[in-house]
Amino acid sequence: MKKKTNIGIIGLGKMGEAILHGAFSTKILKAKHIFFVAHHPKRDVLLKRKYKIQLSPTLQDLCEKTKIILLAVKPQDIPKVIAELKKYWDHHLLISIAAGMETSYYKKHLGQNTKILRVLPNTPSRIGYGAAGYFATGSVSRQEKSFCEKLFSAIGIVVSIKKESQMNGVLAVSASGPAFIYEYARAVAQAGCKLGLSKEQSRILTLETLHGATQMIRRDNFCIQNLIAQVASKGGTTLAGLSILKKKGFTKIIEECMESSAKRARELNKKFGK
């Protein structure tokens, strides 16, 4: 494989490693074509030993040996990395998974014609059940988009987003979304305990109910109202519970929750994306 297909990874934290693991398990990438930059000496040694990938001592070395850069650091760390990275930038393809950092920021510092794939994966990617959306700038080729789709399909599903403004929707629905579902699960389990169940009983019932409900949604192709109708008979217990959700503005609360998440993404771009 030639240099143009070598990939350099900046930021091998949990998400970066999840992407790497998925690429290996599906044989999309080979160890000898993957480079990562030195960051934490002890962890660097462990990652090199575990995956047999190449360790670059500097960003310059990483850029010289690759043509694809996967940027997997936190938004607040992006400015420092980009300031150093632009010294060695040479028509690389940039894949960024940082929340809130828009492509205009990278273009400003790396060049207006920079090829950028902005991807928002989520934490279930670490177990192969991720949901990601990606946006590509106009200079990204069909082949490069295909590579991105293969890479992120290895850890879940990936959806192509045509307008970058829609990426905040991706962030709220799937990137931040798992935490909202976890909070719901915790509330249900706690309520079960208050209603007399043991902690373990409530935990098991909550987990299996979430799993079963998800499978029903898949089977019925997301016909939510139909699924609710199957459970909520007139004058029954389910309808009594649903009436409280409606009265308390459950749908509105969820909308405000997700809008707040999207708003924070915009704030991050303003704060760090200068």
Checking if the pLDDT of 39 tops 90, the result is no
Residues 229 and 108 in one domain: no
Residues 206 and 158 in one domain: no
Last residue of a domain, one of 125, 142, 175: 175
**pLDDT attached to residue 272:** 80
Checking if the pLDDT of 258 tops 80, the result is yes
Q: What is the mean pLDDT of the chain?
A: 94
Checking if the pLDDT of 2 tops 60, the result is no
Does the model's pTM come out above 0.85? yes
Number of domains the chain contains: 2
Residues 61 and 152 in one domain: yes
227-253 residue pLDDT tens? 999 999 999 999 999 999 999 999 999
Percentage of the residues of the chain whose pLDDT score is greater than 90? 86
74-90 residue pLDDT tens? 999 999 999 999 999 99
Residues 156 and 230 in one domain: no
Take residue 120 and report the two structure tokens written for it. 């928002």
* Domain presence at residue 67: yes
Strand order in the sheet with 93-96: 54-56, 34-37, 7-10, 68-71, 93-96, 115-120, 130-136, 156-160
Residues 212 and 99 in one domain: no
Query: Do 10 and 62 form a contact (C-beta atoms < 8 A)?
Result: yes
Last residue of a domain, one of 175, 197, 213: 175
Mean pLDDT of 36-42: 86
Checking if the pLDDT of 159 tops 90, the result is yes
CATH number for the domain that contains residue 163: 3.40.50.720
Residues 186 and 159 in one domain: no
CATH number for the domain that contains residue 185: 1.10.3730.10
Residues in the chain: 274
Burial 153-170 (b: 16+ CB within 10 A, else e): ebbbebeebeeeeebbbb
Residues 29 and 164 in one domain: yes
Mean pLDDT of 60-84: 94
* Domain presence at residue 273: no
Residues 142 and 211 in one domain: no
* Domain presence at residue 274: no
Residues 52 and 140 in one domain: yes
Mean pLDDT of 123-139: 96
Rounded distance between C-alpha atoms, residue 270 and residue 274, angstroms: 7
Mean pLDDT of 26-44: 89
Mean pLDDT of 183-203: 98
Torsion sign across C-alpha atoms 109, 115, 120, 124: negative
105-120 residue pLDDT tens? 999 999 999 999 999 9
Domain boundaries, position 239: 177-266
Last residue of a domain, one of 140, 175, 210: 175
3 or 231: whose pLDDT is higher? 231
**pLDDT attached to residue 1:** 39
Take residue 135 and report the two structure tokens written for it. 């946006």
**pLDDT attached to residue 3:** 54
